[in-house]
Chains A and B, each alone.
Chain A
């Protein structure tokens, strides 16, 4: 099955700085890569996703890049705010079978005011 690795496990940044979280995946057939944000005690919620026919996608302060050759994708948050503090999960979905999502182990982001 798919194996998704995520780094770093924890990340602290000053408010206004940028944050970058990186993920790698093992199956070259994977073609859907979502990012979820989970606040303390809450459910995961999708913040952005990218498909293999696109190299970069932006939504306001959030961007995701995908390098299919190297099998890695990254989440970029610019101008961080305290409300960005949460755990972020990357995931990858294989294009065969039921297309189940395989999640990374998460990054706890702390934005220091």
Chain B
């Protein structure tokens, strides 16, 4: 059981570039989510999904897109990177949102 995996671990982008952060889980969890973590601000929800084919916005969705074509995968797309998107990104999954969320190892993104 690999749990929740994320790639890449580190990424540096230039302003305006696009990229996709990958997230996968092998626990057959229906609920998956993306958070960003900034100093002093805790974890803020970007987008979430309650099952394949279903996604919705969280607290800070602007500048990000998601899709959920399978139960296992939940990629996060940055459309046009901005310095304000410099952050650590965590993907998480759980049986349902009101249960223990298992976090991936995180992706540290720097936008220059």
A: which residues have CB within 8 A of B?
1, 6, 9, 31-32, 34, 42-46, 49, 89, 91, 93, 95, 98-106
A-B contact pairs, 13 of them (CB 8 A): A1-B59, A9-B40, A31-B98, A43-B104, A43-B105, A44-B103, A45-B103, A89-B42, A89-B43, A98-B97, A100-B48, A101-B45, A103-B44
Q: Are B100 and A103 in contact (CB under 8 A)?
A: no
**Chain A residues, Cβ within 8 Å of B80:** none
**Chain B residues, Cβ within 8 Å of A95:** 98
**Chain B residues, Cβ within 8 Å of A45:** 103
B: which residues have CB within 8 A of A?
31, 33, 35, 40-45, 48, 50, 56, 58-59, 90, 96-101, 103-106
Q: Are A46 and B43 in contact (CB under 8 A)?
A: no
Complex alpha-carbon distance, A107 and B99, angstroms: 22
Complex alpha-carbon distance, A69 and B48, angstroms: 30
Could you tell me the distance in whole angstroms from the C-beta of B99 to the nearest C-beta in chain A?
8
Q: Are B58 and A100 in contact (CB under 8 A)?
A: yes
What 11 additional pairs, Cβ within 8 angstroms, besides A49-B100, A98-B56? A1-B59, A43-B104, A43-B105, A43-B106, A95-B98, A99-B96, A100-B33, A100-B97, A101-B33, A103-B44, A105-B42
Q: Are A105 and B41 in contact (CB under 8 A)?
A: yes
B91 to chain A: closest residue by CB: A43
